[in-house]
Structure 1
Amino acid sequence: MPGLKSIGTMRLLAFDPFHGAAGDMICGALLGLGADKEQVMRAMSSVVERPHIETVTRCGIAALKVHTRAGPAHRTLHEVLAIVQRADAPSPVISQAERIFRRIAAAEEAVHGTFHVHFHEVGADDAIADVIGACMAVYLLSPDIIVSLPVAVGRGMLTCAHGTFPVPAPATAEILSSGHLVVMAGDYTGEQLTPTGAAILTEICRKGMNNLPTGTILKTGYGAGTRDDPTSPNVLRAFLMEYQGMSEDLVDVLETNVDDMTGECIGTVLTRVMEEGARDACAIPILMKKGRPGHLIRVIAPPARSASLAEILARELGTLGIRVTPAVHRFIARREIQHIPVCIHGEEIVFPVKFGYIGDACYLVKPEYAFAEEYARQRNIPVRDVLHEVTKAGKRYHTGERN
């Protein structure tokens, strides 16, 4: 089977935070990898004034510096989420940004207690823009897996909103405890990893690694920090790689049976777990004991999110037990998202379309449904018509691209 080996070829996004990380550095590195600048800027501009991007040098290394031109602000989680929800970005981007800020809020509460209701440094417009920009860039790059090499947190003491503390800051340390990043002190005296940078990396990275996996580096991107350290480049490096990662792509399967839930409630649960990081979710009609009709709820989850998703299932469904089949191998075809022009009823618009490959052969052309659904709703036309036109355009686009 000549195509079998290529099924295991995956696109890997690897961060190398050898000099720490911040939200603007993450955005710059992802733009350096080729994330569409205009789409990222449009998403960020929907929450702040349009950012300015320039190429700078840090210790002789050319890198992209993102200036959000936003001021400080103290906000509640509710206020931050309200801004995030208004962002001009696809729903998966907004959901991921919401999870990042909920992660920050949980860390703030753990450090300061339940009486603490306001974000401090991370409630500012620039932090919100950086999170939206990073999530949008990841969405556009569409890697199969995201990892991080050891992240430098810095050394010494720092002064923050609640006084002077050793590095890393209390909130940053708490955020790191909720993920799987590998940390190191680094050589710099001062803070190298900001709370926003920690929250983004902890949320989007499946795991921390001490070394890059074996593979081919396709592209390298550098995001610049504000300081210009004369002895070490203040940059975040990122790699886009192609590697044979089949054996490392593991998922958990969560299952539970229910017989007392309406279809509407089950639909709500499936939507909720997808928003919270599930890879897939479904409800299967079954016949339960004593002849009762019911549903098998099945959720495919990244191992790092199994516990939180199981808790959601228990709370939403009222079930007392969630079965977990851990570490199931998953075969993944290589895929990429292209943004292609489509003419619908005389209007030309750019649509995101997913292409799937086995070897070099494209076997799947699939429009992003959420985008098509929103477009159809705004124009009051059937979504099936939109999907049909976008699929035809996607096939023409792919054929023309390969000729």
Structure 2
Amino acid sequence: MSFTLTQWLAHLEKLHPVAIDLGLERIRIVAERLGLLSGPIARRVVTVAGTNGKGSTVAMVEAVARAHGLSTACYTSPHLLRYNERLTLDGNEVSDEALIDAFERIDAVRLETGLTYFEMGTLAALVIIRDRAPDMAILEVGLGGQLDATNIIDADVGIVTSVALDHADFLGTDIEKIGTEKAGILRAGHPAVLGSRNMVASVAAHAASLPVSRCLVLGADFDWRRDDHDGWQWQRPDGAFDDLSLPDPGLPLDNAASALTALEALGIPLDSERLIQALSGIRLAGRMQRIGRYCLDVAHNPHAAGYVADQLMLRPVTRRVALLGMLGDKDAEGVIEALWPVVDDWLPVTLSGARARQAATLADIIRARGGEVVAVADSPAAGIAWLEQHSQHDDVLVCGSFFTVAEALARLERGEGTA
């Protein structure tokens, strides 16, 4: 009898002794047996790496491509509410049946080769994408770049959004080495888009060593600026600012400009009306997502938290509380410091799992800085329940981890705590 998707996902967690095992040797063996490396999986492949901004960049590449009539497949991670979120086909979540079929096909050929949960999921996504053969596949790197499972596929254009410290247990703390790792998605003879004004030198150096056909750097080869119509203008790589006023997608405009630059680098003619259409309708769960008085963002490192703080500066409120839940291997002190200017009160929560940081530990860090801790809770859901009973704050920031946002979002989408 075939497993359900839920049973398959539980099974995948037991296939390999460690959850994260960077390297491509094992996954390449199975990918070759599946025929994934014998030809392209799509007409064009865009791979997106970076510490922060990957998800929003992928979303904007996809939206613009679809608005221009291209069929798309997007593979991202992690998910918030449903595993199916990780693979969308023309904007629709993949079905349980397609995932189950892919897992069965992979399991039939992997034999004794052990694969992690992420590697199995990546192979399943690639099998489904290859079978569908879309005009464009957009792949988000899970962790790092060069050794990430997605990197078994050659990208027609590689985007590196940013490089900052995160996942130190796996990538280390040498920022230049981290940059080289993330630049490992770039391919000789294909364009590279570097979407940060403060990109570490090793990324461009790696691109030059390949060499790529063209290395396009934000602030040098392309850019954006605000206009007088509450929108923005894109500076194309030819150096000219478009007169066209584009709508603000509610996502970082560095990433929006990078997405457009990558599409143009692929030779896709971009139409003004379709650009406006695409950028007007983007909604990305867990990225400055508003539900009533709640703002949910998956920011879990100081760089991402700084962006959240900058956006909240633009939204004056009477009093804001942060419901903060983090994993133990993340820089809690740095995140709290970045959010400090825009948060009045704090509600630390404990996440489930062995990697979780205890709410009491977060509370100690906050109190040591002189912050006001209104309560601690043993889960994000319990934190929201407390806020609904006791809080008069007119703005609630939920952040610190995908796990924090996922649990809070599940409760809020049931209508519990949206007042």
State TM-score, norm by structure 2. 0.24
